[in-house]
Amino acid sequence: MALEKTVYIGTYIHSESLTKVDVAVDGSIGVGEDGKIAFVLRDTTEVPEGWRNAKVIRTQDHGFFFPGFIDTHIHASQYPNAGVFGNSTLLDWLNTYTFPLESSFNNLDNAARVYNRVVARTLSHGTTTACYFATTHVPATNLLADICQARGQRAFVGRVCMDRMSPDYYRDESVEVAVDASRQCIDHVMKIDPAFDLITPVITPRFAPSCTAEVMAALGKLHQETGVPCQTHISENKAECALVKELFPQSASYTHVYDEAGLLTAKTILAHAVHLGVDERALIKARDAKISHCPASNTALTSGAARVKTMLSEGLTVGLGTDVSGGYTCSILAEAREAIFVSRHVAMTDGDEAKLTVEEALYLATRGGARVVGLEDRIGGFEVGKDWDAQMVTLSSVEDAGVIDQHAGPVEIFGGESWEDKVAKWVYTGDDRNTTAVWVNGRLVHSREGLKL
Ligand code: GUN
Ligand code: FE
């Protein structure tokens, strides 16, 4: 679908570094017919030669353009259970809530209903890239890839592999089944998006307790042979860590289990990383594997508090993951908030250096996530040559609106706030009502009802 050359005029904000957010007041960004950024101008809303006939989209009402969010870990199939976890912890939560739900994706109508909803909702929260766990079902996993492509969300789509310690009704029968099904899902994406431009398949061993050494080794081989990325869980909960020790007595650590299977590489995303030892973090760094930090889920399932600042200071690459439905929200904005608050609880015992700032949380939500998924050259910020994966944020003003009607966002701007304060208000009090439009690779993929662009 051909895109219209467009100039985005107004304030744009993105992360300049882990600790600094760059605010360019009244700038302009040109996006070509290929969906890529052709120019970025600070301090001027002038449109350059050759762009005078381009479509113009302006920020509205104290608004700004911000890079699309990157959710580095979300279970699309678990979306119907968001908010449902009771007082459970990981291992009983899986058996009580998760496996029964995931097993229902043998029904494609059910899968279509849930997957359409989760893609629409994550887009509405500004998530332009998502790393999805689907289920063990090949047709439903392929349908998720189709839906992401049709709705225009950049996505990593993984068929879940699990050949033990799972119920009889929801388990791979053999190593061959797991590998063959994974191959079928890779082949499907190669058919619908041969260059993996928007959709990328991802090899997905669920986690070490539900995978035999044989299946992990076979998936490690597939990972090395195809170059297709890999995602899994690691060191989320203490009982899980004890179980891994018992199941893999030969291995020096949980991290070594994946490394010995050939699953720990620069293209591996490890979710949680709550209870990692120093040696494990060093091994992850040596392999350049990536971390998805999932604070909402870690709190909900009382898994623990990941030491994010420690991991960052040691040079690990970290992004944010909602981990629906261990996490209750599919909003990365909410996840950023959770990350900040969990870090403050850590700081109460470990000291102030454990605290994440608003700037750091926004970095994790964008640039950090881009590095986690290996797309830092394409997404995460506004530079010439990058894809226009962006959201338009509106901070509705009570003054301007007179009354807060249903279309007004919840962020209250009284006038006179610094940009730093506006961004903080967005992070702490904003939600999807503030995300008025969303683009992926230049294509409009979501806009709020009634919005005139
Ligand atoms: N570990 C293995 N499976 C899962 C899952 O579905 N969610 C979370 N949070 N952890 C897991
Ligand atoms: Fe998870």
Computed over every residue of the chain, the mean pLDDT equals 96
206 lines ligand 1 (CB under 6 A): yes
Q: Are 20 and 359 in contact (CB under 8 A)?
A: yes
**Which atom from ligand 1 is nearest to the alpha carbon of 326?**
9
Q: How far is residue 59's CA from residue 11's CA, in Å, rounded to a whole number? A: 7
Q: How far is residue 173's CA from residue 166's CA, in Å, rounded to a whole number? A: 11
Q: How far is residue 172's CA from residue 303's CA, in Å, rounded to a whole number? A: 27
Cα 116 vs. chain centroid, distance in angstroms? Answer: 17
Residue 452 lies in a domain: no
With a cut of 90, say whether residue 446 has pLDDT above it.
Answer: yes
**258 plus 144 within the same structural domain:** yes
**56 plus 85 within the same structural domain:** no
Least-confidence region, from 59-68, 162-171, 266-275, 302-311: 59-68
Closest to 296 (Cα-Cα) out of 345, 329, 271, 343: 329
Per-residue pLDDT at 399: 44
The single residue listed with the structure tokens 């949680």 is 272
DSSP character for 86?
T
Domain finish residue from 321, 346, 372: 372
307 lines ligand 1 (CB under 6 A): no
What pLDDT, in 10s, does the model give residues 340-397? 999 999 999 999 999 999 999 999 999 999 999 999 999 999 999 999 999 999 987 5
Domain finish residue from 306, 341, 372: 372
Identity at 247, one-letter amino acid code: L
| CA atoms within a 13 Å half-sphere pointing along the CA-CB vector of 425 | 21
Per-residue pLDDT at 306: 98
What pLDDT, in 10s, does the model give residues 143-168? 999 999 999 999 999 999 999 999 99
The single residue listed with the structure tokens 């900040």 is 340
Closest to 32 (Cα-Cα) out of 378, 376, 380, 386: 386
Sign of the CA dihedral with 267 first, then 272, 291, and 196 last: positive
Residue 364 lies in a domain: yes
297 lines ligand 1 (CB under 6 A): yes
Tell me the average pLDDT across 299-321.
Answer: 98
Q: How many whole angstroms from 93 Cα to the centroid of ligand 2? A: 12
Q: Which ligand is nearest to the CA of 298?
A: 1
With a cut of 70, say whether residue 296 has pLDDT above it.
Answer: yes
Q: How many whole angstroms from 75 Cα to the centroid of ligand 1? A: 9
Per-residue pLDDT at 77: 98
With a cut of 80, say whether residue 215 has pLDDT above it.
Answer: yes
Per-residue pLDDT at 408: 61
Per-residue pLDDT at 412: 84
With a cut of 90, say whether residue 414 has pLDDT above it.
Answer: no
Nearest CA to ligand 1 atom 8: 326
Q: Which ligand is nearest to the CA of 166?
A: 1
Supply the range of the domain harboring residue 402: 6-67+382-447
Instruction: List, in order, residues 6 or more apart from 250 with CB less than 8 Å away.
Output: none
Q: Are 188 and 181 in contact (CB under 8 A)?
A: no
Residue 365 lies in a domain: yes
Distance, first Cα to last Cα, the chain: 19
Per-residue pLDDT at 376: 98
Q: Are 98 and 45 in contact (CB under 8 A)?
A: no
Kindly state the helix (H) or strand (E) to which residue 99 belongs, with its residue range. Answer: helix 99-103
Which of 75, 159, 163 for a ligand 1 pocket mutation test, highest count of atoms within 8 Å of Cβ? 75
Q: How many whole angstroms from 421 Cα to the centroid of ligand 2? A: 33
**Which atom from ligand 1 is nearest to the alpha carbon of 207?**
2
Q: How many whole angstroms from 233 Cα to the centroid of ligand 1? A: 7
List alpha helices for 227-326, DSSP H: 238-247, 254-260, 278-287, 295-300, 308-313
- The structural domain count of the chain equals 2
172 lines ligand 1 (CB under 6 A): no
**83 plus 123 within the same structural domain:** yes
Sign of the CA dihedral with 183 first, then 189, 192, and 194 last: negative
Does the N-terminal peptide bond of residue 325 adopt cis geometry, omega within 30 degrees of 0? yes
DSSP helix/strand/coil, 6: strand
**400 plus 299 within the same structural domain:** no
**31 plus 151 within the same structural domain:** no
Phi, psi of 409 (to 5 degrees): -70, 165
Per-residue pLDDT at 401: 47
209 lines ligand 1 (CB under 6 A): no
Q: How far is residue 422's CA from residue 412's CA, in Å, rounded to a whole number? A: 9
Q: How many whole angstroms from 73 Cα to the centroid of ligand 2? A: 6
Residue 1 lies in a domain: no
Is 284 or 1 the better-scoring residue by pLDDT? Answer: 284
**233 plus 359 within the same structural domain:** yes
What pLDDT, in 10s, does the model give residues 83-135? 999 999 999 999 999 999 999 999 999 999 999 999 999 999 999 999 999 99
Identity at 168, one-letter amino acid code: D
DSSP helix/strand/coil, 368: helix
Query: Where residue 324 falls among pLDDT bands split at 50, 70, 90?
Result: very high
**Which atom from ligand 1 is nearest to the alpha carbon of 323?**
9
| Kind of pairing between the strands at 290-293 and 317-320 | parallel
Q: Are 8 and 65 in contact (CB under 8 A)?
A: yes
Q: How many whole angstroms from 249 Cα to the centroid of ligand 2? A: 24
Per-residue pLDDT at 1: 61
259 lines ligand 1 (CB under 6 A): no
With a cut of 70, say whether residue 141 has pLDDT above it.
Answer: yes
Residue 420 lies in a domain: yes
Domain finish residue from 350, 372, 394: 372
Closest to 21 (Cα-Cα) out of 378, 361, 337, 440: 361
ipTM: 0.99
**Which atom from ligand 1 is nearest to the alpha carbon of 301?**
9
Per-residue pLDDT at 44: 84
